[in-house]
Structure 1
Amino acid sequence: MDGKRVGAGPSAPHRGAAEAGLTTGALARRLGVSPTTLRSWERRYGIGPAERVAGRHRRWSPRDVAVLETMCRLTSAGLAPAEAARAARNEASAGAPQPRAAQDEAITGGPAPAHSTTAAAPPSGDVRQECRGLARAAVRLDAPTVEERLAAAVAGFGLTRAWQEVMVPTLHAVGRKWATSGDRYVEVEHLLSWHVSTTLRRHTRPPVTSAGPTAAGPVLLACVPGEQHTLPLEALNAGLSQLGIATRMFGAAVPAEALAAAVRRLGPAAVVLWAQARSTASLPLAQHIVVTEWGVRGARSRPLVLLGGPGWAGRPSRGMLNPTSLPQALDALAVACRQPGRER
């Protein structure tokens, strides 16, 4: 032992630093934003350190930290920054008590999350606000809030509507931001995609088997060769699992030979081929799957083929279905698997 008393508390210099509050850099790391953002909020909305000492770095008191935590929480919920700043100031002025844990962490610079309150289930029809809140959390790389907002969307809207009206629009918005910013925000798109995938898998029930020897085979889900976009198939897989329909998910870029072999081995009721881009949408492959047969002579079967994704737009699809939404695909596959139609 070095002779220091265990639990004696911080030394005098450490106490002085703690009492002085957080530096701008430490606060930025705690909140998951940049120091530039903090300076911008101070300049635009008047949210800054309440006390300043000439010739020294600015220090943020526990009360200052609480105001900024409230602002981060409100913006992640979809509120405009100016409105969030006004509400955060009003809450502080009203003397709202700050949790003891937040006081301790604000002073010591500990790792407590800045806005980890559980998001409430969104009210019906409030989809646009959900998209804004989710996008802002993703841009801040605020993984806990992204998870909370996705879970709240599914709880409030159901899986299908959450996918169509919250997840997809937000993914598109982040993708456009990346495309127009010179390859910036790639990390934002990757983080959001990961958490969307995690949410979809969390709501995917364990695989089921077809009941009885005469039951329809499973639904085979695969991206065509060269295609890496699996999220739409993951959403469809989750929806089918909730209907109790057996599936086999093969994921990204399945080689043509492997896909054909899987069809012959499984005898699926349907095959879904996803192509995000026109360059990967191989019509010869789809036509080959359509005519693939299995079974004994005189009682052969063929799969129903669904073409999913914008890559198939404008392509001839004789003998194939081309649903344009997740509900359409679920309805078509429920019929193909001889299941009752989806609950609307």
Structure 2
Amino acid sequence: MSSSEHDQPAGLSTGSVARRLGVAPTTVRSWDQRYGLGPDAHTSGRHRRWAAADIARLERMCALTMTGVPPAEAARIARESAPPALAPPAAPARPRPVRSRSHTGLQLGDVRRECKGLARASLRLEAASVDDLLTAAIADYGLVTAWQEVIMPTLQAVGRKWESSGEKYVEVEHFLSWHVTGVLRRSAPTLPVGRADPVTLLACVPGENHTLPLEALAAALTERGLPVRMFGAAMPAQALVEAVRRTGPAAVGLWAQSRTTANRPLAQHVASMEWGVRGARRHPLVLTLGPGWTGQAVPGLPRPPGLAEALNVLKTAAADDTRRPVTP
């Protein structure tokens, strides 16, 4: 064996260990600093290397905390437990589109590994880890894929958990939703002031308070340089009409989570609004977004089934300089 092979440190880096466990690197470092769960072998240099026995302790720590054991007590048990011998782990390759079954108690199914880590951090209410994992997912996969394959499956699993357990985990859903909102806003670039590009207006219909899907759509549009006016939850009908009149948008997206809030007359009224000089009148393209429009479809109005499809429709609407002119 060459001297260079002797000099190479064995084991995995902190980042590789975090990906193997499905947690954020900051969580691994925190467990090392707070609870002494770092590598047994100390190597020179800045980067710590984790052997199989070190990783086994961390896996025990993960399993214990997911059952509700306080972190300090879980760390004590993990340190005192004699982990079974493991084969030296191989370094994982990037990128990380690995599918993983969940061991978090949430019904995640066959999803990306990042969902498992995000679910764990959310159940532990670890703010820094949740932010790190959300930010990394968007950076690795792009906003649309991260939303559809990481964020949404985790949110849906958390929702199913509290619905089936007497709302025991409702704080987790609120916690995760709040952090998703923050990361979506931080991930969207700031557009130059004074641009005259066609605007998209996004709002929830009256009585509807589920804004996250619209926030994801707003962030995706901004990411592509398309101006958005976001009005959020439960937009009063008259206020929506006034906003459309004032902005003259190329498109309007109306979100309804429930069939009880889907408002067909309002969607039809907004779609019929016109502005501009005689002979060149314009009106907005209205999208009915969300599961609430199922069975409530409005003739002539598109109802894209997901974020990617809605984004494509709105990009086309924004590129249409005539903004669907009405024949005089």
Q: CA deviation at 1:253?
A: 0.7
288, 297, 302: which is aligned to 1:307?
A: 288
- Matches of 1:270 and 1:198, distance apart in 2: 25
Counterpart of 1:296 in structure 2 is: 277
The Cα RMSD (Å) is 3.4
Q: 1:130 to 1:290 in 2, by over 3 A?
A: same
Q: 1:261 to 1:210 in 2, by over 3 A?
A: same
203, 218, 225: which is aligned to 1:222?
A: 203
**Which structure is larger by alpha-carbon Rg, 1 or 2?**
1
Q: CA deviation at 1:207?
A: 4.0
- Matches of 1:290 and 1:141, distance apart in 2: 43
| 1:247 pairs with 2:220 | no
Contact 1:208 1:246 survives alignment (8 Å)? no
169, 172, 177: which is aligned to 2:153?
A: 169
Q: CA deviation at 1:160?
A: 0.4
Q: 1:294 to 1:155 in 2, by over 3 A?
A: same
| 1:140 pairs with 2:128 | no
- Matches of 1:128 and 1:75, distance apart in 2: 19
Counterpart of 1:3 in structure 2 is: none
| 1:233 pairs with 2:214 | yes
Counterpart of 1:287 in structure 2 is: 268
| 1:197 pairs with 2:181 | yes
- Matches of 1:121 and 1:200, distance apart in 2: 24
- For residues 50-65 of structure 1, the aligned pairs below 5 Å read 62=36
- Name the SS of the counterpart of 2:213 in structure 1: helix
- Matches of 2:276 and 2:61, distance apart in 1: 58
Q: Among the aligned pairs, what percent are the same residue?
A: 53
Q: CA deviation at 1:211?
A: 4.6
- Name the SS of the counterpart of 2:112 in structure 1: helix
Q: 1:265 to 1:125 in 2, by over 3 A?
A: same
Counterpart of 1:97 in structure 2 is: none
2:96 maps to amino acid = P
Q: 1:121 to 1:163 in 2, by over 3 A?
A: farther
- Matches of 1:75 and 1:230, distance apart in 2: 33
Counterpart of 1:54 in structure 2 is: none
- Matches of 1:209 and 1:318, distance apart in 2: 36
TM (normalized to structure 2)? 0.67
1:294 maps to amino acid = W
1:166 maps to amino acid = V
Q: CA deviation at 1:317?
A: 2.0
- Matches of 2:175 and 2:166, distance apart in 1: 18
Unaligned 5+ runs, structure 1: 1-30, 32-59, 79-84, 95-119, 340-344
- Matches of 2:294 and 2:273, distance apart in 1: 23
- Matches of 1:210 and 1:218, distance apart in 2: 12
| 1:123 pairs with 2:96 | yes
Contact 2:97 2:113 survives alignment (8 Å)? no
TM (normalized to structure 1)? 0.64
- For residues 1-344 of structure 1, the aligned pairs below 5 Å read 62=36, 70-71=58-59, 123-126=96-99, 127-208=111-192, 211=195, 217-338=198-319
Q: 1:300 to 1:75 in 2, by over 3 A?
A: farther
What count of residue pairs does the alignment treat as equivalent?
A: 246
- Name the SS of the counterpart of 1:321 in structure 2: coil
Q: Could you report, residue by residue, the CA deviation over 1:261-287 in whole angstroms, capped at 9, with x for unpaired residues?
A: 111111000000000111111101101
Q: 1:62 to 1:262 in 2, by over 3 A?
A: closer
Q: CA deviation at 1:242?
A: 1.2
1:142 maps to amino acid = E
- Matches of 2:175 and 2:168, distance apart in 1: 13
Q: CA deviation at 1:149?
A: 1.2
Q: CA deviation at 1:296?
A: 2.0
1:70 maps to amino acid = L
Contact 2:97 2:112 survives alignment (8 Å)? no
1:287 maps to amino acid = Q
Contact 1:304 1:336 survives alignment (8 Å)? yes
- Name the SS of the counterpart of 1:248 in structure 2: strand
Unaligned 5+ runs, structure 2: 1-26, 28-33, 41-53, 67-77, 88-92, 100-110, 321-328
- Name the SS of the counterpart of 1:337 in structure 2: helix
Contact 1:121 1:153 survives alignment (8 Å)? no
Contact 1:75 1:136 survives alignment (8 Å)? no
Q: CA deviation at 1:121?
A: 7.7
- Name the SS of the counterpart of 1:240 in structure 2: helix
- Matches of 1:231 and 1:220, distance apart in 2: 15
